[in-house]
């Protein structure tokens, strides 16, 4: 199976090979070519092939730093009797190019062959990134199965990097010579089978199997799926593929699951735009909007084209179902969109011999540098894979209406819509009655020290002490500990750094009632409005790729995906939901009762952003705020002994106000009015007969918060970081397994027995037309269904 390097966990950004310019020398590491996309209808790309750094003055124009590309190769077509038909285009590209910072290597490519054409995509930060990609003659495309591809190809790419001597420009220093070979050594015919193109490119990129097209494909365009480099120098693979009229990101759907078809561009040269660069105008490019910025989800139209797209037609072509959309200029909101077909024009010699199917929403044409504003599109589905309603569309009319598209429907492996706006809310609790303080362990100890010490010895301002409402025993000079503790709703330990979670955390003094204790710390409420700004702290854990191993059913069968979530426990996920996809994790933590919820969701790509979530796969509840035991029954004894000890044995169950707020106040999403309504209700029920004590008394009727699901300090012994464990069966395929036992068929074909070969097993064999007696029929049927060699 063709694998995608990204899915294999190879970080493309690490493949940058730097070429250090040292005086007149250019040194380079050996680069790693790799294929991106669904090869071979994609192309070989040497991502970040070279990065020029160092003394850039050496390679700027005038010094004659040159790049010479020399491509030679050979291939064997399917059915071709001779192995190793050479092909070369050396004359096309064997030349020197001045390559200075800010200039491009721009080979003069005439695409009459299957070529690996290098081009320089961008120059940024004094680094030039060179790419190669397949170009094939323009023409008409069809959906072509892999079987039609050539059997084997080998090619070498030699790249000479030369510079001229800085002292004597007439002298050229040949500096470095690179060569790499891409080949498929296995010439067995069954290797043509798209599902047996199996090799581990993660171990040997040079051994990556390469297939290109045969002569029947020669005249077709292979615009395929493209990769571009963003301004950050990294690859961006926001492939928006027109498939089933659902635009989806390529990353999201595992490459191997897109079936044995290749996607390509449909081109017809019939109109030229009035522009200095000519472009073809027909395309299957459809509206898939992507934004480089933080556009809200609502602005992405997965099922609705941008306003202005009118010329939507569908065509039955070559037995396949195509959706053909016109290129051109369209508007969406106030932006302009260019839909540019993946075709190219021979007269376009500027940068792109093969224009990419891109569109740009700022109304400018492609100028040679990529950025995130360019979205590369192009895909075609085979007719048999189309949905019924699509097949029934009249392809000869333009009455196709996007409104007919069932939004939100899911096809197998289709991404569908994203989960809208989860975690985006700021939940504040309207609270005029409580304050939450953020304390350190030292401040907690200090608080206890104050309580356990005679107030008279602490030089409190007696004016302030009048605010303590009976928590002082003026006869003994001690604190009335029980009364103090009555004011404390809870004291919880959170194993995290809360100040980074809680915004607007002003420093104030810990107060009981309205009496300040002189311990300055942060609060979780906004003092001006008495609203706990963030009663729920949200923290994202990032995302991980749940990798494939076999790229077939074995990645799902007998596979366990278990996610360990600190303070929540473990959760088993369905492999079908997450394998080959990015799994994100976000915690929402209730700072009142210490509970937490861990959200696990699938995303289109690696991201820290929860807005990229496509669907939740699990939500697990736990407890991460742990009650600090404060003793009520021992408080008096402790106080009389005047012990300085903030912690004693025995649990005094502190009731949370959470339930109270549920009943008499209102939880609101930053809604002050909710709190006001709650206060009003409290007044009606007589609760507010005393400003604070009534609330304290009211606690007796409030249930204590549940601490199940992780309330023990022993939970601290567990890892504090969430992780995923993928346990997968190990399979053993004996030698000659395929030829003797075979693999399960897609059952899509109803063919003659003679169309098969090797070992075959058939089902529900119909012996009509066979001239033999009944016993013979039964025997033949049984034999065919148990397996024969054809």
Partner 1 sequence: MILDFYTVTDDNRVVSKNLGALNVELSASVYDDCSIMNPRFLLAYYDVIVNSNYIHVPKWNRYYYIRDIVASAGNRCVITCKEDYLMSNKDGILNLDVYPIRGSYINREPYLSDSSIPQKVRRNCLTIGFPSSPFIETGGYSYVMTVVGGRKLS
Write out the binding residues for partner 1, residues 611-670 only, by CB under 8 A. Answer: 624-625, 628, 656-657
* Contact criterion met (CB below 8 Å) for 671 and 430: yes
Angle at the Cα of 85 (from 81 to 91), degrees rounded to 5?
Answer: 165
Under rule CB under 8 A, which residues in 382-441 are in contact with partner 1? Answer: 433-441
What's the closest the beta carbon of residue 523 comes to partner 1, in angstroms? 8
* β-pairing verdict for 152-164 and 172-183: antiparallel
Sheet holding 25-28, edge to edge: 25-28, 18-22, 51-54
**Cβ proximity to partner 1, 159 vs 660, nearer residue:** 660
Residue 740: partners with Cβ closer than 8 Å, 6 or more residues away: 759
- Under a CB-based contact definition with an 8 Å cutoff, are residues 93 and 70 in contact? yes
- Helical segments of 560-625, H only: 575-578
* Least separation in angstroms between CB 67 and partner 1: 38
Judged by CB under 8 A, the residue of 25, 160, 180, 195 near partner 1 is: 195
Contact 593, 578 (CB under 8 A): no
For residue 520, the cross-strand partners are 509
Among 5, 380, 489, 578, binds partner 1 (CB under 8 A): 489
Q: How far is the CB of 694 from partner 1 (least distance, A)?
A: 10
Contacts of 33 (CB under 8 A, 6+ apart): 44, 45, 46, 49, 132, 157, 180, 182, 205, 206, 208
261 DSSP 8-state letter = B
Q: Which is nearer to partner 1, 331 or 693 (CB)?
A: 693
Chain residues 151-190 in contact with partner 1, contact rule CB under 8 A: 189-190
Residues 533-592 that bind partner 1 (CB under 8 A): 537, 539-547, 549, 551-554, 556-558, 566-567, 585, 587, 589, 591-592
Where in 711-750 is the site for partner 1 (CB under 8 A)? 720-734, 737-750
**Smallest gap from residue 491 Cβ to partner 1 (A):** 5
Q: Which residues pair with 159 in a beta bridge?
A: 69, 178
Alpha helix (H) residue ranges in 254-406: 388-391
Q: Which is nearer to partner 1, 331 or 616 (CB)?
A: 616
Asked if 45 contacts 35 with a C-beta cutoff of 8 angstroms, the reply is yes
Contact string 680-709 vs partner 1 (x = CB under 8 A): -----------xx--xx-------------
Q: Could you identify the residue written with the tokens 């408080």?
A: 635
Answer for which of 501, 571, 640, 684 binds partner 1 (CB under 8 A) is: 501
Minimum separation from the CB atom of position 345 to partner 1 (A): 37
Shortest distance (Å) from residue 636 CB to partner 1: 20
| Residue 260 in the binding site for partner 1 (CB under 8 A) | yes
Nearer to partner 1, 84 or 506 (CB): 506
| Closer residue to partner 1 (CB): 551 or 667 | 551
Distance separating alpha carbons of residues 162 and 146, to the nearest angstrom = 39
* Nearer CB in complex with partner 1: 101/695: 695
Instruction: Between 403 and 733, name the residue whose CB sits nearer to partner 1.
Output: 733
Window 506-535: residues binding partner 1 (CB under 8 A): 508-516, 523-524, 527, 530
Candidates 179, 396, 689, 779: give the one binding partner 1 (CB under 8 A).
Answer: 779
Q: Report the distance separating Cα 45 and Cα 43, nearest Å.
A: 6
Residue (378 or 722) nearer to partner 1, CB: 722
CB of 761 to partner 1, least distance (A): 4
Number of residues assigned to the chain: 790
For partner 1, give the closer residue by CB, 408 or 769: 769
C-beta of 677: minimal distance to partner 1 in Å?
Answer: 20
From the CB of 564, what's the least distance to partner 1, in Å? 9
Q: Is 462 helix (H, G, I), strand (E, B) or coil?
A: helix
Q: Which residue has the tokens 């959706």?
A: 323
User: Taking contact as CB under 8 A, which single stretch among the options 155-163, 224-232, 451-459, 491-499 is the one that binds partner 1?
Assistant: 491-499
Closest CA to 130 of 161, 156, 155, 163: 161
Contact in structure between 256 and 2 (CB atoms under 8 Å): yes
Cα–Cα distance measured from residue 67 to residue 96, given in angstroms and rounded to the nearest whole number = 5
Q: Count the site residues for partner 1 by CB under 8 A.
A: 146
Place of tokens 């996610």: 563
Q: How far, CA to CA in Å, does 193 sit from each of 82, 145, 151, 387, 637?
A: 20, 9, 10, 26, 83
Q: State which residue, 24 or 490, has the beta carbon closest to partner 1.
A: 490
- Binding residue for partner 1, selected from 72, 273, 315, 765, defined by CB under 8 A: 765
Minimum CB distance to partner 1 smaller for 156 or for 597:
597
Q: Which is nearer to partner 1, 514 or 708 (CB)?
A: 514
Interaction between residue 245 and partner 1 (CB under 8 A)? no
Give the up-direction half-sphere exposure of residue 148: CA atoms within 13 A in the CB hemisphere. Answer: 14
Smallest distance from partner 1 to CB 719, Å: 8
Tell me the window of 25-33, 114-122, 230-238, 492-500 that interacts with partner 1 (CB under 8 A). Answer: 492-500
How many of the other CB atoms lie within 10 Å of CB of 714? Answer: 8
């Amino acid at each position: 199976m063709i694998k995608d390097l990204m899915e294999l966990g190879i970080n493309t950004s690490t493949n940058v090979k730097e070429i250090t310019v040292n005086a007149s020398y250019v040194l380079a590491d050996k680069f790693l070519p790799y294929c991106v996309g669904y090869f071979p209808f994609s192309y070989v790309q040497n991502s970040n092939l070279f990065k020029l750094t160092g003394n850039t003055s050496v390679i700027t124009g005038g010094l004659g730093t040159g790049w010479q590309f020399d491509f030679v190769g050979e291939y064997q077509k399917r059915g071709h009797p001779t192995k190793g038909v050479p092909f070369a285009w050396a004359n096309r590209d064997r030349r020197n190019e001045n390559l200075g910072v800010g200039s491009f290597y721009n080979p003069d490519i005439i695409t009459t062959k299957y070529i690996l054409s290098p081009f320089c995509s961008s120059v940024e930060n004094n680094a030039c990134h060179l790419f190669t990609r397949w170009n094939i003659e323009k023409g008409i495309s069809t959906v072509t199965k892999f079987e039609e591809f050539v059997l084997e190809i080998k090619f070498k790419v030699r790249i000479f990097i030369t510079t001229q001597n800085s002292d004597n420009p007439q002298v050229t220093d040949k500096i470095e010579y690179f060569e790499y070979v891409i080949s498929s050594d296995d010439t067995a015919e069954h290797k043509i089978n798209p599902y047996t193109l199996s090799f581990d490119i993660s171990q040997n990129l040079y051994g990556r199997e390469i297939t290109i097209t045969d002569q029947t494909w020669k005249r077709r365009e292979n615009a395929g799926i493209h990769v571009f480099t963003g301004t950050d120098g990294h690859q961006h693979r926001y492939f928006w593929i027109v498939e089933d009229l659902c635009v989806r990101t390529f990353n999201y759907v595992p490459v191997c699951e897109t079936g044995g078809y290749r996607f390509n561009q449909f081109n017809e040269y019939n109109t030229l735009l009035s522009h200095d660069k000519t472009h073809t105008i027909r395309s299957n490019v459809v509206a898939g909007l992507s934004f480089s910025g933080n556009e809200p989800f609502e602005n992405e139209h997965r099922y609705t084209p941008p306003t202005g797209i009118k010329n939507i037609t569908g065509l039955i072509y070559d037995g396949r179902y195509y959706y053909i959309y016109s290129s051109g200029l369209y508007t969406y909101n106030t932006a302009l969109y260019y839909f540019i077909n993946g075709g190219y024009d021979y007269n376009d010699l500027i940068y792109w011999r093969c224009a990419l199917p891109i569109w740009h929403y700022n109304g400018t044409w492609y100028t040679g540098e990529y950025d995130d504003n360019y979205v590369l599109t192009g895909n075609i589905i085979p007719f048999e894979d189309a949905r019924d309603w699509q097949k029934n569309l009249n392809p000869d009319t333009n009455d196709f209406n996007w409104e007919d598209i069932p939004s939100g429907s899911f096809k197998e492996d289709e991404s569908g819509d994203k989960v809208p706006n989860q975690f985006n809310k700021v939940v504040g609790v309207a609270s005029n009655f409580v304050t939450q303080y953020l304390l350190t362990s030292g401040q907690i100890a200090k608080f206890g020290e104050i309580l356990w010490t005679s107030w008279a010895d602490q030089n409190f301002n007696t004016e302030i002490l009048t605010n303590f409402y009976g928590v002082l025993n003026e006869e003994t000079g001690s604190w009335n500990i029980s009364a103090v503790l009555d004011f404390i709703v809870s004291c919880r330990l959170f194993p995290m750094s809360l100040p980074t979670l809680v915004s607007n955390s002003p420093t104030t003094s810990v107060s009981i009632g309205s009496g300040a204790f002189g311990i300055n710390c942060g609060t979780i409420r906004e003092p001006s409005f008495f609203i706990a700004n963030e009663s729920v702290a949200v923290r994202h854990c990032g995302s991980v790729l749940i990798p494939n191993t076999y790229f077939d059913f074995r990645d799902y069968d007998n596979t366990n995906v278990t996610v360990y979530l600190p303070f929540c426990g473990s959760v088993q996920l369905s492999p079908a939901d997450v394998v080959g996809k990015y799994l994100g994790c976000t915690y929402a933590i209730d700072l009142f009762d210490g509970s937490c919820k861990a959200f696990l969701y699938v995303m289109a790509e690696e991201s820290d952003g929860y807005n990229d979530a496509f669907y939740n796969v699990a939500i697990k509840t736990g407890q991460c705020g742990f009650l600090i035991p404060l003793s009520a029954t021992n408080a008096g004894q402790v106080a009389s002994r005047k012990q300085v000890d903030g912690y004693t044995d025995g649990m005094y169950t502190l009731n949370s106000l959470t339930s109270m707020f549920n009943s008499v106040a209102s939880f609101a999403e930053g809604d002050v009015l909710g709190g006001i309504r709650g206060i009003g209700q409290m007044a009606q029920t007589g609760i507010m007969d005393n400003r604070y004590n009534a609330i304290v008394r009211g606690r007796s009727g409030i249930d204590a918060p549940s601490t199940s699901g992780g309330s023990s300090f022993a939970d601290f012994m567990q890892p504090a970081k969430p992780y995923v464990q993928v346990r997968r069966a190990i399979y053993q395929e004996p030698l000659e397994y395929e030829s003797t036992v075979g693999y399960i068929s897609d059952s899509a074909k109803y063919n003659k027995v003679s169309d098969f070969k090797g070992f075959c097993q058939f089902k529900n064999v119909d012996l009509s037309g066979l001239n033999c007696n009944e016993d013979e029929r039964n025997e033949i049927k049984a034999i065919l269904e148990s397996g024969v060699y054809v």
